[in-house]
Chain A
Amino acid sequence: MSATAQDPNIGRVEIPDVLDLRHTYDSATDKINGVILTKKTPVPIAVAMGICFLLAGLLFMTIGRLLTMGIGIWGNNQPVAWAFDIINFVWWIGIGHAGTLISAILFLFRQEWRTSINRFAEAMTIFAVMCAGLFPLLHTGRPWLAYWLFPYPNVMQMYPQFRSPLMWDVFAVSTYFTVSALFWYTGLIPDLASLRDRAKNKLTKIIAGVAAMGWRGSARHWQRYDIIYLLLAGISTPLVISVHSIVALDFAVSQLPGWHTTIFPPYFVAGAVFSGFAMVLTLAIPVRALFGFKDFITQKHLDAISKVMLATGLIVVYGYAMEAFIALVYSANPHEEFLMKNRMFGPYAWSYWMLILCNAVIPQLLWFKRIRLHTGIVWVISIFINIGMWLERFVILVTTLHRDFVPSSWGMYKPTIFDFSMFIGTIGFFGLLMCLFIRFVPMIAGFELRELLHKKKSHHH
């Protein structure tokens, strides 16, 4: 690097520790609880909450119209029968995966930097899965009959078709939501107990007390707690991989060019982690600045997340390269070859090249430490990745479906205003839930932070 020669300090940029060690158990806990135990909502959060509330209203209005008019208000139709609804479903599910990765996999690997962001990322998972679930649910057309998806004894004597990946999806996503919620709540119990014991306001005390279920941090409690926390992390790890693999099988099990490939499951999982970490950064950078959490979510965290993004991004780029190689060189299948050329140079070529720009080119900036340590640039890169991962699903779905084997059945896809209002609406709904979470639930795992503080301080002595 020539820049190093000019400025000798660049190579020696100090990356701080994962935690400001001047904190005590009290000061760290009070700082986390301080966000909740006050009557004041920070103005930016209040404004964000207001905007998100309006957008969530847009979502529910769209859903209302959808229920009365039918899914014909969306732009998807033959030949592009899966469009925004499935794109958004996969996008949201993917975003959720970073939460589980941070809370479970990094826990198993004993990565200290996960501690101050895991709660936040887990909440993101739960809310993202809620948004994701809405799309296939509404895409069924008659969501009030969606319980038919579950195998229950019924007078019709009809049962679900267990050989279909769409059925596997029902089980995978509902299990994922349930286990993520349990994992999140398990982590919250000791922190709710701290909140209960620190609250001055009677109502707060009662609510936190009920939610903490009488937790008192007894050694017997902690013994069982530690075991199940580890086990929940252990089962969440294969779970998260299975969920996105099954989502990928929704496509790969079909016979369509561009979908029918064995690389889909790992390539989808890497993409999910990539987009999820990007979303963590998109949300965590403003929140950390707003609440003065820079001593808990340090530059070290942003650096580590950036590196994970870079690594998973490279796996995704490898996936793109393999897709092209299989289609153009290896398969010798004219339909596959046509699909790839159509993707790159057909009517939707703009989306393919935008995707390459957002996911393959721009993230390469993260190779440079100087950029990784620049919060603003990292934030902008994370936004590009969010967009790129949305485009990736757009490319996979629309370019495959719009021109299949028989030219007479080709067509173009155009989203309607309701496709957009539904998508933007879920972003608002997600944002609203995040704002409520930030304001009313301890957003940093206090007991884990105290444990880490103890560990770090006893090492320093």
Chain B
Amino acid sequence: MSAQAPNSGKIYAAVAEYATPEALLKAAERVRDAGYKRIDALTPFPVHGMVEALGIPKSRMAGLVLFGALAGAVGGFGLQVWQSMIQYPHVVSGRPYFSWPNFIPIVFECAILAAGITAFVGMLVRNNLPRPHHPVFSAPRVENTTVSTFMLVIEASDPLFDEVKTAELLKQTGAEFVGVAPVEGDPADPHDGPTLN
């Protein structure tokens, strides 16, 4: 896909490519301060400060994982207590039915297991993954962003978006390259999960 790809006037986003994370950070702050809201950055590794520069709200992943861990612990403890006291009461080496110290290792393992699965699945679900195709993939040079370049994305659905003015702004931020991601195929709701954080 080249930058001059013919499109029917439908654009998903304007993109700008930078060579360094520092340049991208500066550009992102400038675009954010200009009032753009539907912005994103594509980077080959996590860039410190990117979230603030884009004005993305804080993620609540940590709370979710804590909930997973607690649910695992309670579930693991409940399972053992229920089986050892109600379902299958059985005296083992003279210990009481409610021999809770013996239950601790499994409570711990269940907490870790549930936390791990919550973290992994939670991250994917909240990131709207797996998602084999995304409209931003039609942007020129986007394939380099998983290796060596840093890309700022301003979505066309942003109220301030204007094909000419937005491109002008991106050029002023010192981008190495400015282009647009045309909408291919079905343009219905190209935006990626608006509110979840």
Contact = CB atoms under 8 A, between A and B. Distances in A.
B112 interface: yes
Interface string B11-34: 000000000011000000000000
Interface stretch (B1-9, B54-62, B157-165, B166-174): B54-62
B59 A227 contact: yes
Q: Main secondary structure on chain B at its contact with chain A? A: helix
A219 B143 contact: no
A450 B44 CA distance: 8
Given A227-B59, A228-B120, A231-B65, A179 B112 contact: yes
Contact of A151 (B79, B102, B103, B117): B79
A454 interface: yes
A197 B146 CA distance: 7
A224 B121 CA distance: 11
B129 A194 contact: no
A454 B51 CA distance: 18
Q: Main secondary structure on chain A at its contact with chain B? A: helix
Contacts of A193: 146
Given A29-B148, A227-B59, A214 B51 contact: no
**How extensive is the interface on chain B, given as a class?**
35 or more
Most buried by A among B59, B112, B145: B112
Given A175-B112, A231-B62, A454-B21, A25 B147 contact: yes
A232 B41 contact: no
A40 interface: no
Contacts of B47: 219, 222
Nearest to B65: A231
Contact of A228 (B50, B61, B130): B61
Contact of A217 (B22, B44, B83, B122): B44
Interface stretch (A45-53, A68-76, A158-166, A285-293): A158-166
B184 interface: no
A26 B147 contact: yes
B40 A232 contact: no
B111 to A, nearest CB: 8
Interface string A161-176: 1111101100110110
A232 B106 contact: no
Contact of A186 (B109, B123, B132): B123
Interface of A: 24-26, 29, 151, 157-165, 167-168, 171-172, 174-175, 178-179, 182-183, 185-186, 190, 193-194, 196-198, 209-210, 213-228, 231-232, 235, 238-239, 242, 246, 249, 447-448, 450-451, 454, 458
Which 7 A-B residue pairings sit nearest by Cβ, starting from the closest?
A: A213-B130, A25-B148, A214-B131, A179-B116, A197-B143, A222-B46, A228-B119
Given A214-B133, A219-B42, 6 more contacts: A183-B116, A190-B44, A190-B45, A216-B146, A219-B54, A242-B108
